[in-house]
Amino acid sequence: MQPPELKSLRIFQTLGRVTAQSLERCDQLLLLLPPKPASRLFRQLPHGGKIQQVMRKSAAGSTPGFTTRLPNKRQTLVVAGTLAKDTSSFEQLTLGRKLVTAAGGGEKAGSMGICVLGFDADNQATITKNILAAALAAACELPSFKRDKPPSPIKNLRLLGAINRLNTARCEAEAKGNNLARWLTTMPPNKMDAVGYASLARNLAREQGWSFKRFGSKELTKLGAGAFLAVAQGNDNDSACIVRLRYRPGKASANADLSLVGKGIVFDTGGTNLKPFNAMLDMHGDMQGSAVALGTLLAIAELQLPIAVDCWLALTENRTGPNAYKSQDVVTAANGKTIQTIHTDAEGRMALADTLVLASRDEPGLIFDYATLTGTCVSAITTRYSGVFTNQASLHPHLKRVGRNCGERVWPFPIGKEFMEDLKSDTADFMQCSPKGAGDHILAASFLAEFVENDTPWVHMDLSAGDNDGGLGHIGSKFTGFGVRYTMSVILDENLFKANL
């Protein structure tokens, strides 16, 4: 099954004063104002007197602030909210999601307007783009297998009252990447197995002009990728593979400036150490690290960024069965290091280990890997933040600032040889994980660092915010696609892989 056509909604922009005619084109209007808007702002709006009157009667601090219908032919539904000038990106995105949800409840799909008044040009542009991001996320058609499929909630978007024309290309590209990541993660495991996933990646590569290579079990055996193959050997077919995609615009260098690596466990039973029911229920989402990597690559390609990018997807199931790997097995990874397996549900670090070896041997400027890797990261920072780890400690303030500025918030954790003391083994170079379990997110990242070759700068993101009940930030679905927007900010706002290393 292929994702829906990844085209953005049509976005119209109307500069200057909001007119009655422009409002007649909107079925819903998202209105953003300062906390105590001056009366002159309402005079800039048709029916502004009514809007001001409703606002005065509304409950202070409620979200959204108030709703009303305009007495025009369209019966435009106005859903309004207020934002202070120092409101964070995360708070702006969250309000955008709540306004879009309130506007869409019970309404037929139509034209949604966004109007931000009472702010200077820079703040107006930032707020508008964050609300636009929420609307583009809400318009995504996630997989549905119901006989009566719900219609798309938004047909087109209208930006009203802008001081300057906005360049929305980045918003649209990030939305396409995030929507692809969420669509893939939502797919049922019998509809998107490793074979289907690799086929989808091949088709997308053909459409986008990327190179595609699939490393199957025979090639991986020759490469000595024993860590990945240990997980894959429990499958009842030869579906497991590592996929490499390459984006090379114009005269880009052969070596990648950036390498994206994603954990793609398309279903995780826990293996021989079988998960209990509640822990296994949503394990079709254990491939979302790979979905974020692929979605990020799509966003980069949509913007035709002048950087060379590799994308590596480690695709397999983690199954039970007579051939599944076991505790106390010893396997050899592609870099020759031996691993004593402790817990078969720590499969993600095994699959990523060999993938990181292959990615780093190509000597990219920076590796960014994504994985729903550990429960201890969720315990440490909840599902509202994701954890980041790096072999370049100087990157910590940059990584934290990126999250704060883009609204996908992260928290840095340490790694290093001192933590590998907890993974000492009597039978191998080191253990896969500690039987004690404490600080497993730090131990897992320290383990992964052992497989990054050539002193390649590397960042690992443990996606504790990859799924959050009720959505997160501008995303309304349980699976959030966390990481696409973040990585685009790393590239476009911080330029980490060139400037700061």
List the catalytic residues. 275, 349
Residue 296: which H helix or E strand, with range? Answer: helix 288-302
Partners of residue 390 on adjacent β-strands: 459
Among residues 483, 195, 232, the alpha carbon closest in space to that of 354 is found at 232
Among residues 292, 185, 314, the alpha carbon closest in space to that of 242 is found at 314
**Are 22 and 13 within 8 A, CB to CB?**
no
Q: Amino acid identity, residue 208?
A: Q
Within a 13 Å sphere around the CA of 397, how many CA atoms are in the beta-carbon half? 3
DSSP category for residue 493: I
- CA–CA distance, 284 with 287 (Å, rounded to integer): 7
DSSP 365-430: SEEEEEE---HHHHHHHTTTSEEEEES-GGGHHHHHHHHHHHS--EEE----HHHHGGG--SSSSE
Cβ-based neighbours of 146, under 8 Å, separated by 6 or more: none
For every residue of 64-114, which 3-state class applies, written as one string?
A: CCEEEECCCCCCCEEEEEECCCCCCHHHHHHHHHHHHHHHHCCCCCEEEEE
- CA–CA distance, 65 with 79 (Å, rounded to integer): 8
Among residues 348, 338, 344, 341, the alpha carbon closest in space to that of 315 is found at 348
In angstroms, the Cα distances linking 303 to 165, 175, 208, 312, 442 are 18, 12, 12, 20, 34
**Are 358 and 309 within 8 A, CB to CB?**
no
Q: Amino acid identity, residue 294?
A: L
Phi-psi region of 313 (alpha: psi -120 to 50; beta: other; left: phi over 0): beta
